[in-house]
Amino acid sequence: MKQSALFNIEGHVAMVTGAGSGIGLAYAEVLAENGAKVLLTGKTPERLEAATSRLRAAGCDVDCQVLDIADTDKLRTTIDGLAAKHGRLDIMFANVGISHGRGFLVDPNGSLTAIDFEGFRRVVEVNLTCNLLTIAHAARHMRPQKRGSIVVTSSVAGLTAEPIVSYGYAASKAGLHNAVRQAAADFALDNVRVNVIAPGPFLTNIGGGRLHTDKATAKVFADGVPMKRVAHTDEIKGLALLLASPAGSYITGAIIPIDGGSTAILPGRGT
């Protein structure tokens, strides 16, 4: 099979949550640039509108809608509306993730004995519960059509102890991994694939965008990576297209790190 057929998503209907910037925007770009009809969603209208205008100017078929996935009613109506508009839903990237505070390696307040449990609960609610609802609402449309790809953004912090990030972030990502495996098994006979991309450190706006602005924190993250650098969001596009396209037709229930080799050197990374 030729490359053009393997990675063909021309005309596929896709939605990306948290698409205004960072990894979510990279997902939306690679899908749209390869012919998918993409709905970008997120909480910041200015970012969404700027990204949508730029992609439309490049000839892409994109739209945007302001959405806080913690508004679970609007989350469902947005997904249902997209599927009703096009008569199908082929691809869902559940990308929203938040953090609260930093890990104990870089902040004494990150210790379990000092944890802010209100912040912890908020992170788990968004990163785990709301992303599971995103998967569920997408699957309701994909199962009857007997096809679909759902890709969830997690983190290498869900694979092992990660002293740089908060307890809430690490716990929510670990829980998400097992929930995705469960969903992959649940939907397998309907040819609906569910996979996780688990990034290492990327230049995004999570945690207030401190990897952009705080050189000391960025160095701590980079030092824990064998390649000794933080990744650019463009570097996640190839894996995203693989999982969304026919090239990934036999991949489901996978947790795929994209981390510059970080998980290859466990334990002791980042210490």
- The mean pLDDT value for 32-57 works out to 97
46 CB contacts (<8 Å, ≥6 apart)?
none
pLDDT attached to residue 268: 46
Give the per-residue SS3 of 138-162: HHHHHHHHCCEEEEEECCHHHCCCC
136 CB contacts (<8 Å, ≥6 apart)?
none
- The mean pLDDT value for 168-195 works out to 96
Write the CA distances from 31 to 47, 97, 252, integer angstroms.
18, 20, 19
- The DSSP H or E segment spanning 54 is helix 45-57
pLDDT attached to residue 209: 57
- The mean pLDDT value for 102-114 works out to 69
**CB of 248 closer than 8 Å to CB of 197:** no
The tokens for 266 are 């466990």
**CB of 95 closer than 8 Å to CB of 69:** no
pLDDT attached to residue 1: 78
- Report d(CA 269, CA 221) in Å as an integer: 10
Which CATH code for domain 3-257?
3.40.50.720
- The mean pLDDT value for 165-186 works out to 93
pLDDT attached to residue 271: 35
With cut-offs at 50, 70 and 90, classify the pLDDT of residue 263. Answer: confident
- Over the stretch 198-239, which tens digit does the pLDDT of each residue have? 998 888 765 555 565 567 767 877 887 889 888 999 999 999
Which of 64-78, 100-114, 121-135, 253-267 shows the lowest per-residue confidence on average (mean pLDDT)? 100-114
The conformation of residue 127, written as its DSSP 8-state character, comes to I
pLDDT at 157 over 60: yes
Average pLDDT, whole number, for the chain? 90
| Extents of the domains making up the chain | 3-257
Alpha helix ranges (H) inside 195-253: 206-213, 215-223, 237-244
Q: What is the pTM of this model?
A: 0.90
Catalytic residues: 169
In degrees, rounded to 5, the angle at the alpha carbon of residue 81 between the alpha carbons of residues 173 and 54 is 75
pLDDT attached to residue 205: 66
Give the per-residue SS3 of 61-113: EEEEEECCCCCHHHHHHHHHHHHHHHCCCCEEEECCCCCCCCCCCCCHHHCHH
CA dihedral 143, 148, 154, 156 (to 10 degrees): 120
The tokens for 136 are 């569920």
